[in-house]
């Protein structure tokens, strides 16, 4: 079944849609909106996603499912550790500038393998090494915080990347400053299925 909004949601409205979808995911009462033939066909002319999600490439973290959304609802950018580089930042810029998504969620998650590797001192080879610096900064920032090091670092990394995106010039910073776009860090618990907005 098609469930499209009559108007583009604000950042707060989009966040509420995502929160409601996450509640359905947690309870197992999924609606699976916009997964039908009509939805698929309606998207051939273009897309109007309600949110941009930057999250880890981890197979256990599928944003469309976690937020109980469907085809055309989310603009998803995925990279190990949910860190950003020029390509991922360019994708986010495209989403907020040209697709007019009002909110960007930067979502870390529990038991992140990229963070675990850096925290354990593993040698990152090849291009994987480019993930290290942002993760190392997050680990350093929360070293004295009580609780699970990897999960705390995942939350901190989501916060740090959110700030980096919000301050990215010229495109995103301008849209954040004029109130057109909101950048929100979040954390996904693998066991409970809950997304915590930080």
Which CATH number is associated with domain 11-197?
A: 3.40.1050.10
pLDDT at 5 (0 to 100): 52
CA distances from 38 to 1, 42, 46, 169, 194 (A): 7, 6, 14, 38, 30
Phi, psi for 165 (deg, rounded to 5) = -65, -45
Q: Quote the tokens at residue 114.
A: 């990229």
- Tens digits of per-residue pLDDT, 55-100? 999 999 999 999 999 999 999 999 999 999 999 999 999 999 999 9
More confident residue, 59 or 1: 59
Binned at pLDDT 50, 70 and 90, residue 35 comes out as confident
Which residues make beta-bridge pairs with 182?
103
Query: What are the structural domain ranges in the chain?
Result: 11-197
pLDDT interval class at 15 (50, 70, 90): very high
Q: What are the pLDDT digits (tens) for 92-129?
A: 999 999 999 999 999 999 999 999 999 999 999 999 99
Nearest residue to 187 via CA among 74, 82, 96: 82
Q: Contact, 196 vs 187, CB < 8 A? A: yes
């Amino acid at each position: 079944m098609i469930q499209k909004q009559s108007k583009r949601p604000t950042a707060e409205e989009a966040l509420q849609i995502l929160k409601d979808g996450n509640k359905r995911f947690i309870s197992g009462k999924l609606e699976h909106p916009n997964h039908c033939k009509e939805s698929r066909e309606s998207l051939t002319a273009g897309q109007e996603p309600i949110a941009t999600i930057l999250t880890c490439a981890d197979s256990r973290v599928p944003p469309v499912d976690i937020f109980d959304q469907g085809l055309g609802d989310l603009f998803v950018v995925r990279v190990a550790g949910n860190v950003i580089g020029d390509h991922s930042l360019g994708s986010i810029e495209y989403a907020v500038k040209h697709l007019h998504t009002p909110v960007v969620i930067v979502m870390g998650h529990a038991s992140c393998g990229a963070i675990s590797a850096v925290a354990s001192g593993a040698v990152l080879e090849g291009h994987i090494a480019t993930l290290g610096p942002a993760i190392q900064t997050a680990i350093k920032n929360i070293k004295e915080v009580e609780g699970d090091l990897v999960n705390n670092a995942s939350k901190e990394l989501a916060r740090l990347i959110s700030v980096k995106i919000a301050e990215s010039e010229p495109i995103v910073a301008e849209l954040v400053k004029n109130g057109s776009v909101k950048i929100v860090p979040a954390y996904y618990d693998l066991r409970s299925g809950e997304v915590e907005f930080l």
